[in-house]
Amino acid sequence: MNEPVIVLNKLTKSYGKHRGIENISFSVKQGEIFGFIGPNGAGKSTTIRTLMGLLKPTGGSASIFGLDCAQDATEIAKDVGYLPSENCYYNELKVREMLQYTADLYGMDCRGRMTELAERLNLDLTRRIRELSLGNRKKVGIVSALLPSPKLLIMDEPTSGLDPLIQQTFYEILREENRRGVTIFLSSHVLSEVQRLCDRVAILREGRLVGLQSMEELRENGYKKISLTARKPVEKNFFSIPGVANLEQADASVSFMFSGNTMTIMDRLHQLELEDIFIEEPSLEEIFLHYYE
């Protein structure tokens, strides 16, 4: 059995009237790619900052490599690559100088790895930080986190601001890191991202843990958002079947979310003369509104 790399035990961070996190408990196994998902404002960044020792918990505890995150943050940081959701850099430094500063903090010669990662992510090492777009600043953060070849990667919303092609390269790099034994913990509000990468997910809503699932369980319970237009008005109760939620209907136009056996809803759709149909993945916000109420 792999020993847990991350353990949260009733972790709580209170901000008074403002939402924090409450009684969060789960563990992340060695070698796992673990997703931490929820809508924006759910408490993902608060949890991650507490894991990194940047915030002190109000209650409960968190540990990484068996060390307490609040008391042993400096020791833990030696083996962790961290990407915050928002980066603050020295704007006058060039990218190469900024990344060299990271390497120096770890006491490592990372010049070869720096060049390789920068080339793969199409990051210009000669530009000054102040000249970079949001996407390129994110690349600096990604390279900085990967640079020391850590045992654990903790990444908060890693792909926000990246264009789709760079996202694909980033996913490839994460899989490579994982194959060499790196444990990866990443937060996201994009369901398709964690479905693509993760082994398991913890689901956060309004500062509370509302689910802990394997990807197979998440897919089985996952909703599809269906919008259709029929050639003639659809009977009022036609889609009143188990698994249908958020049903909106106006004559021949119908939209709803569906969770369950795909053939059940396909049988219904086959009974209609359809002009148009659109099936998509709902946002996490939509899923939480209806799946976890």
pLDDT in tens, 126-145: 999 999 998 999 999 999 99
For range 212-235, the mean pLDDT? 83
What does the buried/exposed string (b/e) look like for 76-89 if buried means 16 or more CB atoms within 10 Å of the residue's CB?
bbebbbbbbbeeeb
| Nearest of 2, 20, 15, 82 to residue 208 by alpha carbon | 20
- Look at 18 and 241; give whichever has higher pLDDT: 241
The listed range with the strongest mean pLDDT (45-54, 222-231, 240-249) is 45-54
Q: Does residue 31 share a domain with residue 103? A: yes
Last residue of a domain, one of 220, 247, 269: 220
Q: 274: domain CATH number?
A: 3.30.70.1560
Domain that holds residue 234: 224-291
Q: Does residue 233 share a domain with residue 90? A: no
The average confidence (pLDDT) of the chain is 89
Q: For residue 277, list its beta bridge partners.
A: 228
Q: Rounded to two decimals, what is the model's pTM?
A: 0.81
CA distance 98 to 119: 16
- For a pLDDT cut of 70, what percent of the chain falls above it? 94
Q: Does residue 234 share a domain with residue 173? A: no
